Amino acid sequence: MEIRALKREEINDIRDIDRSEIINQSYYYKNDKLVLKKKYFNISGWHPNEIERTIGNLYDLYDRNGYFFGLF
């Protein structure tokens, strides 16, 4: 595997990351404790608004001398 700094033109490729997942349990906070509860979520991927906002934020950070690293 290779770890390297991402180039600005690679930021848009973030949308290709598969964000889908199945969640069967979730923690919540009750009476000063974390409690594990069975909870089912089927996450199908990036929400359209979320990915656009995330990419915009990443461009902004990069343009202010931020660094991003990728593992390939």
Report the alpha-carbon distance of residue 37 to residue 26 in Å, rounded. 5
pLDDT in tens, 42-60: 999 888 889 999 999 999 9
The single residue listed with the structure tokens 């909870």 is: 39
Which ranges constitute the DSSP H helices of the chain?
A: 48-63
Average pLDDT over the chain reads 94
Task: Check: pTM over 0.85? Answer yes or no.
Answer: no
Give the domain ranges of the chain. 3-71
Amino acid at site 12: N
Quickly tell me which residue has 């290709």 as its tokens.
16
- Tokens 């660094």 correspond to 67
Nearest to 63 by CA among 9, 14, 4, 8: 8
